[in-house]
């Protein structure tokens, strides 16, 4: 792994991938998304990797897409490809989230199989207020986890919510003190790595075929909606982003 935006370490069958733009709260730019996509694909082909842990460096897991520039077609294609890779990954993916987990960062967390959150984590889906559409298959993963009515409110109102609320709504599996997050995420990963080879992948595949049967359709419809909304945005709106 050569791009400094993503750190990669493998030990005892667990690959830890760390989003590493701490000065930007790990906001997603194209090089970061591309590096993560390449790492996921390499892990999928590596029989020594049994589990992946996705985490963020510094004060946040991920502040969403880097909004220093207006979204482009390349941004959309890459962020959707990462989400598809996480969902289709043959190994289970554990998300360890802390600080702000916003927009595409929250979407990637929900694409993972098990999420562990620090008690200080905060979540938000600001896309509607920014005039852009959600990505990452969120229109499938969020209703599957939280229910359709709550998913609509979270997406449209864009209000921030806490780790305790995220757990009560089914978005995260465990909430732990911030100083215990890394250890607990790797404890979960070690338990998954100890399963017989292929077991986790088979469970994941079947559960997704049932519980996320509309995921591929969600990706396609989100991309279509994002393109339509981008085309309809006035030039002055792009300059304000």
Place of tokens 């000065």: 23
CA atoms of 215 and 73, how far apart (whole Å) = 20
What secondary structure letter does DSSP report for 70? -
Active-site residue identified among 107, 159, 236, 238? 107
- CA 16, chain centre distance (Å): 14
Please say if 107 is a catalytic residue. yes
Active-site residue identified among 73, 127, 222, 236? 127
CA atoms of 14 and 19, how far apart (whole Å) = 16
Count of CB atoms situated within 10 Å of the CB of 54: 26
Please say if 222 is a catalytic residue. no
Q: Pairing mode, if any, of strands 14-19 and 174-176?
A: unpaired
- Given a contact cutoff of 8 angstroms between Cβ atoms, the answer to whether 109 and 97 are in contact is yes
Which DSSP string corresponds to 77-97?
HHHHHHHHHHHH-SS-EEEEE
Residue-level length of the chain = 241
Give SS3 for 16. Answer: strand
Please classify residue 118 by burial: count the beta carbons closer than 10 Å to its beta carbon, then call 0-12 exposed, 13-18 middle and 19+ buried: buried
What residues are annotated to the active site? 107, 127
């Amino acid at each position: 792994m050569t791009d400094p935006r993503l750190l990669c370490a493998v030990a005892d069958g667990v690959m830890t991938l760390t989003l590493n733009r701490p000065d930007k709260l790990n906001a997603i730019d194209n090089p970061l998304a591309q590096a993560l996509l390449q790492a996921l694909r390499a892990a999928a082909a590596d029989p020594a990797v049994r589990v992946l842990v996705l985490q963020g460096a510094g004060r946040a897991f991920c502040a969403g897409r880097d909004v220093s520039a207006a979204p482009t077609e390349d941004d959309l294609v890459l962020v959707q490809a990462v989400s598809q890779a996480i969902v289709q990954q043959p190994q289970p993916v554990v998300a360890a989230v802390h600080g702000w987990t916003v927009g595409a960062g929250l979407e990637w967390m929900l694409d993972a199989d098990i999420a562990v959150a620090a008690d200080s984590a905060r979540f938000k889906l600001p896309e509607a207020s920014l005039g852009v559409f959600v990505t990452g298959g969120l229109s499938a993963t969020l209703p599957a986890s939280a229910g359709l009515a709550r998913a609509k409110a979270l997406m449209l109102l864009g209000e921030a919510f806490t780790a305790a609320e995220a757990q009560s709504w089914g978005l995260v599996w465990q909430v732990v003190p911030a100083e215990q997050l890394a250890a607990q995420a790797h404890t979960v990963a070690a338990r998954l790595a100890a399963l017989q080879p292929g077991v986790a992948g088979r469970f994941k595949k079947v559960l997704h075929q049932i519980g996320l049967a509309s995921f591929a359709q969600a990706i396609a419809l989100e991309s279509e909606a994002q393109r339509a909304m981008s085309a309809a945005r006035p030039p002055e709106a792009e300059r304000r982003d």
